[in-house]
Structure 1
Amino acid sequence: MKLHKNILFYLFTLLLLSACNSNETITYNRGKVKFETIAISSKIAGRIDKILITEGQIVKKGDTLAFLDIPEINAKMMQANGSVIAAKGMLNMASNGATSNQLKQINSKINASKAQLDFAQKSYNRLKNMYKDSLISLQQFDEVKMKLNMAKAQVSALNAKLNEVNKSVRTEKLDQAKGQLKRALGAKEEILTAAKEKYIIAPANMSIETISLQEGELLTPGYALFNGYKTNSVFFRFTIPESKIYNFEVGKKITLLNPYTKEEFNAKITSIKQLAQYANITSTAPLYDLSESIYELKVIANSNISKQKFYLNSTILIK
């Protein structure tokens, strides 16, 4: 009986030792695979008309990801086109001066005023002689003289207006017309830019991870409709306690190992920064003192790894 107990004890001990030896040792050299993230949103609000991709899909830079329905764009475009037409008309009118009909009207007024002036001059000459012979009073003579001066002033004013028309429009009116045209063209360009926002375009080669809204829902400005990762933007993140951080430095070359594919490649530490106390730790166990500061190593491959496959947050080791 005692022999049986000893045999069972030895078997249990061997099994325990075997299990312990099979566990992979946890070290500070364990990190995670990361990718540069991208969030895609719109500058203006619109209702989602069509989504052309699915989650997990790989897209290229410039691909159309979705269409937005923005009915206000069409109404504003009509207003902008109307403003441009009106501004061009004002500029043409200012540049060309008076029309032929306007010139005819001015010349007709000048002819009528000259006829009145001629009549006033003749009346003045007759009454002047009569006043000398004391046949009329001074009051009557002054009235005729005043009518003559008024006729002369009217003819002079109409000639000045005709001269201004013949010299085209005043410079300030022409500048004003040009300014209104530029303002109208600027408003139209703004509408054209806003119209481009109807198309949600991929800003880079990327993998679409999440789609936050569905067709028919309203997309507000700045809200991320698509979230994903840039392809070929892989880097590696390690968290190191302060007791070990002096073993590393920016620019140091290291060798990384994919523990699952057994592939090795050269890499370089590009940055070291302190993490906040509540930051995520990439180690699989808290192998640091709670009073220690924690630092992040950002590591980028300095050799071609395009043929290797990596998954977000999978484990990577420093050899």
Structure 2
Amino acid sequence: MKTIKIGISLINLLVLASCNNEEAITPYRGKVKFETISVSSKLAGRINKLYVAEGEDVQKGDTLAFLDIPEINAKMIQADGAMKAARGQLDMANAGATAEQLLQIEGQLNAAKAELQFASESYSRLDNMFRDSLVTRQKLDEVNMKLQMARAQVAALEARRREAGKSARSEQLDQAQGQLDRARGAKEEMLIASDEMYLIAPANMTIETISLREGELLGPGYALFNGYKKNSLYFRFTVNESRIYDFKQGGELVIINPYTKEEITGKLTYIKQLPQYADITSTAPLYDLSESVYELKVIPTSDISGSTFYNNASILLKE
């Protein structure tokens, strides 16, 4: 009977001891974290090809996927056509009239001069006849009007010939240049948009999830790839307000991996109060629920190149 009582007492002592140890580390139980990265597209398109799989490590600049965006090709053709048309307008404005146009204007001017010569001679004859009272004043005025019209026609064609020999007005040149610049801008926009057909890794990262499959439609801004940035490991702890004064930003802490028993030194980079509804990392919080909760972010300072950590795995803070 005494033996049984002694055994029960030993068991109780062991249970109490384990509870005391658990209580000592439970308030500072946290999680392994990595900085997350999402890769999305600015434009809508159908996924033509996926070049990576979930769990794969990629390097910055690697092509992750190719999107089929037919609208880009169509708009590129439109932009090329607009550039050709605008460049032609600018060249024509700079060069002025062509040789054929100048020849046509010269022919019209010669014809107008011939009409002017005929009108001038007719007016001279009728003026003499009017002086001899052979024609009426009305007939002379009609011929004089035709003479003035012929002179105006010749003057207009001469002005047109002078203008055709020069380049266009500065306002016309500016307008043609503006159209060309606008066409160039549209083409540059399409070239930039064409780059969106390829989704590129923004950093060295591990692909965690791929939200769509080949052949499916990807909307603008929708994250196709989600993953973790390499070399971005940190540890997240939550501490209640009654214990937060035990920590100081910039201070050094010791982290324990409960599975490998490895100890790691780290630096407390920030202390941030969490909203009342925020989640905590401790599975058995030992504090009053009315207390505020603070988040601690700890960056490892010791060499962890030979260590293995998994996202959201439990980690302990040594007291």
- Shorter-chain TM-score category? over 0.9
CA shift, 1:86, in A, is: 1.1
CA shift, 1:110, in A, is: 0.4
Q: What is the alpha-carbon distance in structure 2 between the residues aligned to residue 261 and residue 98 of structure 1? A: 87
Match of residue 310 from structure 2: 311
Percent sequence identity is 61
What does 1:16-35 align with in structure 2 at a 5 Å threshold? 16-22=12-18, 24-26=21-23, 27=25, 28-35=27-34
What does 1:1-319 align with in structure 2 at a 5 Å threshold? 3=1, 6-22=2-18, 24-26=21-23, 27=25, 28-319=27-318
Q: What is the alpha-carbon distance in structure 2 between the residues aligned to residue 11 and residue 254 of structure 1? A: 40
SS of residue in 1 equivalent to 2:270: strand
CA shift, 1:18, in A, is: 3.4
The AA in structure 1 aligned to 2:308 is: K
SS of residue in 1 equivalent to 2:22: coil
Worse-matched range after superposition: 169-178 or 114-123? 169-178
**Structure 1 unaligned residues grouped into runs of 5+:** none
CA shift, 1:21, in A, is: 3.8
TM-score, normalised via structure 1 length = 0.93
The AA in structure 2 aligned to 1:200 is: L
CA shift, 1:22, in A, is: 4.9
CA shift, 1:16, in A, is: 4.4
CA shift, 1:9, in A, is: 4.2
Q: What is the alpha-carbon distance in structure 1 between the residues aligned to residue 290 and residue 148 of structure 2? A: 105
SS of residue in 1 equivalent to 2:108: helix
SS of residue in 2 equivalent to 1:249: coil
CA shift, 1:156, in A, is: 0.3
Q: What is the alpha-carbon distance in structure 1 between the residues aligned to residue 301 and residue 152 of structure 2? A: 91
**Structure 2 unaligned residues grouped into runs of 5+:** none
Q: What is the alpha-carbon distance in structure 1 between the residues aligned to residue 302 and residue 8 of structure 2? A: 48
**Deviation digits for residues 54-102 of structure 1 (CA, Å, limit 9, x no counterpart):** 1111111000111111112211111111111111111111111111000
How many residue pairs were aligned?
315
Q: What is the alpha-carbon distance in structure 2 between the residues aligned to residue 212 and residue 20 of structure 1? A: 48
Q: What is the alpha-carbon distance in structure 1 between the residues aligned to residue 102 and residue 153 of structure 2? A: 17
CA shift, 1:10, in A, is: 3.6
Q: What is the alpha-carbon distance in structure 1 between the residues aligned to residue 53 and residue 149 of structure 2? A: 86
**Deviation digits for residues 121-164 of structure 1 (CA, Å, limit 9, x no counterpart):** 11111111111111111001101111110010000000111111
CA shift, 1:187, in A, is: 1.0
The AA in structure 1 aligned to 2:225 is: F
Q: What is the alpha-carbon distance in structure 2 between the residues aligned to residue 117 and residue 77 of structure 1? A: 55
SS of residue in 2 equivalent to 1:225: strand
CA shift, 1:105, in A, is: 0.3
SS of residue in 2 equivalent to 1:134: coil
Q: What is the alpha-carbon distance in structure 2 between the residues aligned to residue 235 and residue 54 of structure 1? A: 25
The AA in structure 2 aligned to 1:55 is: E
Asked if the contact 1:232/1:306 (under 8 Å) is kept, the reply is no
Q: What is the alpha-carbon distance in structure 2 between the residues aligned to residue 199 and residue 19 of structure 1? A: 59
Asked if the contact 1:31/1:239 (under 8 Å) is kept, the reply is yes
Asked if the contact 1:42/1:222 (under 8 Å) is kept, the reply is yes
SS of residue in 2 equivalent to 1:136: coil
RMSD: 1.7
